[in-house]
Structure 1
Amino acid sequence: MSAVADTPSRDTAPAPRWRPLGQADADWLRERAAPALRAWQDEWFEAGAFDVLDAQAFAPGRAFADGGACWRAGASLAAQTEPGAWKRHALAAMALSAQADAQVPDTLLAPLQAQMLDALLARLADALADGAPGERAGFERALPGDAPGFAAGGVRLRIGTARDPQLLDLYCAAELAWARPLSALPAAKPAAPTARAEALGDNPVRLSAVLGRCRLTALQLSELAVGDVLTTAQSLHEPIALRLHADGVAPRTIAHGRPGRAQQRLSIELTTLQQKRTP
């Protein structure tokens, strides 16, 4: 008897290479979801009014929004919706008008709404996970705290109608977007360095984010203790100033933003930039 060494399967998909997500990735996932959405509409309705109304990349660490029912499919897909919003569409699937709402018992509508949503999620999972690395999984009901962490970020697809524009939010992990073929894209030519870029080079600069300011008397300062809370004059809704520090020059505000989180670090998302000074 001869022993055969284990060798990796040739069918194993290579691990995707990390890259930042852009609008092209979001649009590509939208295009993959659209045929599945149309097929689902043809199955349930005489006339289709549903569409992928918005597709946006999101930062790492995003979780479900507060409220609504949640689903997940493995670590690559998650969905959130408000089940009550589907009642009108369940009536439409039964070829009934909205005026029939009071005449149709919830015991009949609730199972139909669940079947419609399950069918939609199944079609979307098949369309978006097809060809992506990793094991495909169907959607299962989840609690908000059980949402995938999306450590690399991802894309949110918002599905709805003109009357109900936020029926379903579908969260796709970055790994699904990384399956987008890039070979057909023209190679970008490196931009020639400008005179300013050559002059500035890699010289480091120092920035600080001013969370708020407060005034204390010398006596109050001397009596501070661990656990004391200092209240600043900054409102929770006011933007945070981002200041540039240079030797021999007073700090200068160059931008404003709002606090956020990037993985396990505090971050500042810029909302406005000061007018650049011309030399």
Structure 2
Amino acid sequence: MIETGITPPPYRITPLQQIAKGGRWRTEAMRAYSQPVLYWFTRGQGRLTVQGVTHGYGAHNAVMLPAGTMHGFDTLGQVAGVVIFFPNDPELNLPDEPMHLRLRDGQAQAEMSHQVENIQRELDLGPDASERALNHHAGLLGVWLERQAGPDWRDALETGGGASQRLAAAFTSLLERDFRNGRNVADYAAQLGITPTHLSRACKAASGRPASALVQDRVHYEARKLLRETRMPVKDVAQALGFRSAAYFTRAFQQKTGMTPSAFRRGA
């Protein structure tokens, strides 16, 4: 894990519109958080990629992701909602696998909004907010999500999807673990015991994007995050992300974003 000097609060709720203001890379590029997160989309639609598999999402969709789950989403027009960050605490018993709920029933939609409001109301107390109360709200939310998903939701995950989706999920797990080591598609394919062509074909089938695009996306999301949110020198960012030199990193970054790392940082 790269030390950024920034310690996020254990609980926080951020409007999706606020995240999107930072640029399309803040939502679309592949990333993973060190905390469990819940996306609650209340308006709009788009495409969501989780563990290398792309699905559509719409209004009143709840997406629960365990810590370390690689994901990104794009939007078709304006999207409203929130993302809730939880402590990475196993005692909360939040769902330990990605979960995507499409809440079509009006009562379920209202109950989900009420769950979010309970957490927000406690956070609004500021210094007087009780972590014990927040933990209870989080635990109740986790139970509610699993009830909505049904008793067999884990079994459906194991049996659902085709070979391409399972391979894409395995690949993104390796990518999230090793993207700082300068590895390429051939390296990941070798770890999975397949050819690079097979891996890229599977990723293309699962997400519409080749494996190389997912690798670049994850690395350059982290690069932009470090450049915007830390004072780490460019050469240290390059080293932290497995580039052979600062010059090579600068060329790759400029090719991806259209500007040098220094120019991108100045635009923060």
Higher helix share: 2
Higher strand share: 1
* TM-based fold match above 0.5: no
TM-score of Structure 1 vs Structure 2, range by shorter chain: under 0.3
- TM superposition score normalised by structure 1: 0.24
